[in-house]
Structure 1
Amino acid sequence: MTARDDMKIDSPLFRAVITRTWRANPDAPEWSGRHKSGSVTYVYGPYVTPGPAKAWITREKNEAARRDDGLSTVTGVIETCQPAWAPLES
């Protein structure tokens, strides 16, 4: 369910912020990019309830556990905001 579905006038919005971090793998070939450490952050949302955001975090953590290469970790948080709507000048 996206923010377009069932959104009320003063509804808060929610999103999932997921960060995947990995350590360098000295055994990986240099062309693969896995010989370096790094991280990437993904944002999913907005949603009108926290449920879909929580589901994204669970999905990403389960996928990381399934791979369990010992080199990467996944963390996730749910963020919320109260939008302040204003007319857009045309």
Structure 2
Amino acid sequence: YMTVQTLWGYVQMYVYDTGRDLMELGVVPGGNMLPEVAYVKLGWVLGQTQNRDEVKELMLTPLAGEITEREPFDGYMILQGGTPQAKAYFEGGLL
């Protein structure tokens, strides 16, 4: 599974030739799942099943919000304090 190390963004393996080559070799895009999350999830999934197809299905199914369909248009701004929610958080307020 290929995952991202950034807090915002998706694995876009169709964009570049290298990504397409990796997919031909069997690497599966992990959406916007972080590497640490994918590692823990894979451990859990392998505890549930050893069937390759079932493992892939479970890894690509959001079970606890670890994979999202879309990110907010201003998602990249959240940790930079660019949204009211982030500002409240950094100033000690509750979200």
Q: TM class by shorter-chain length?
A: under 0.3
TM-score, with length taken from structure 1: 0.26
Q: Which has the higher strand share?
A: 1
Greater relative CO, 1 or 2 (CA 8 Å, sep 6+): 1
TM-score, normalised by the number of residues in structure 2: 0.25
Structure having the higher helix fraction is 2
